[in-house]
Structures are given as structure tokens and as C-alpha cells.
């Protein structure tokens, strides 16, 4: 069974940076694609970014391209979301998700079988 545990959320000011981590465990997890989604109050959950099983490929939502970077360390079974130049519009609960397909990087939430509990990111203006 795959388990995902996010950490690193918090309260920051606009323009600050924050790095989220997601510790993944479970059989075969290194072959899974890992993605990040977020959900703001009153809004649907949306894709933020993801990285393929190898870590060689990543994809991002237009809203975060150039500011956010996904990476993974398969030795540590951890995926990261580096978030730079944060804005109040980035305020949301951020979720880590795992897709057993591994590739291509899925952007729809229903394509991911496993989810973490989420971590809150709040950006003040």
C-alpha cells in the first residue's frame, strides 16, 4: 500500500519561497509518477506540477511555470515542490499524489490512485 506524507507548509509573505516535501512509501513507489495538486477554499482541486517515475521529466500548470519546480529523490523516496515568488493566489492546501502509470505525467486528479493528507500554504500580501 502506498503512503504519502506531505510536510513543509506554512505562512509566508508574498515574494517568499517555500519547499514542500512528500515522503512516499510502498512497494514499487519508485516506478510511480508523483504529482502535486492544490485546493483553495471554494475551488476545485487543481494540478500544480508533477514528475515522472525517473525524475527526468516534469510538467507544470501555466499558473506556476517559471516559479515552481518539482523534483524527486528516488533513494529517499521523496518528491519536492520548490515554490518561489509566492503570491496570495498560491494560498491553498497542497496535496501530493501518486500515479502507478509512471508516465506520462497525469494532470487530472482522477488519474492518481493515492493521496497524502495535504499541507496548508498561506501567502499573505
SS (H, E, C) 89-120: HHCEEEEEEEECCCCCCCCCHHHCCEECCCEE
pLDDT on residue 118:
98
pLDDT-derived band at 35 (thresholds 50, 70, 90) equals: very high
Q: What is the mean pLDDT of residues 91-95?
A: 98
Average of per-residue pLDDT across 46-71 = 96
Average pLDDT over residues 39-50: 97
Per-residue pLDDT tens over the stretch 14-24: 999 999 999 99
Amino acid at each position: 500500500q502506498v503512503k504519502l506524507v506531505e510536510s513543509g507548509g506554512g505562512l509566508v509573505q508574498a515574494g517568499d519561497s517555500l519547499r514542500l516535501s512528500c515522503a512516499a512509501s510502498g512497494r514499487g513507489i519508485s516506478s510511480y509518477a508523483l504529482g502535486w495538486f492544490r485546493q483553495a477554499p471554494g475551488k476545485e482541486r487543481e494540478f500544480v506540477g508533477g514528475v515522472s517515475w525517473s525524475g527526468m521529466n516534469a510538467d507544470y500548470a501555466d499558473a506556476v511555470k517559471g516559479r515552481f519546480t518539482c523534483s524527486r529523490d528516488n533513494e529517499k523516496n521523496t518528491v519536492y515542490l520548490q515554490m518561489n515568488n509566492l503570491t496570495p493566489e498560491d494560498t491553498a492546501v497542497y496535496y501530493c499524489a501518486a500515479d502507478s502509470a509512471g508516465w506520462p505525467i497525469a494532470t487530472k486528479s482522477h488519474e492518481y490512485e493515492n493521496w497524502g493528507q495535504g499541507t496548508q500554504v498561506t501567502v499573505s500580501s
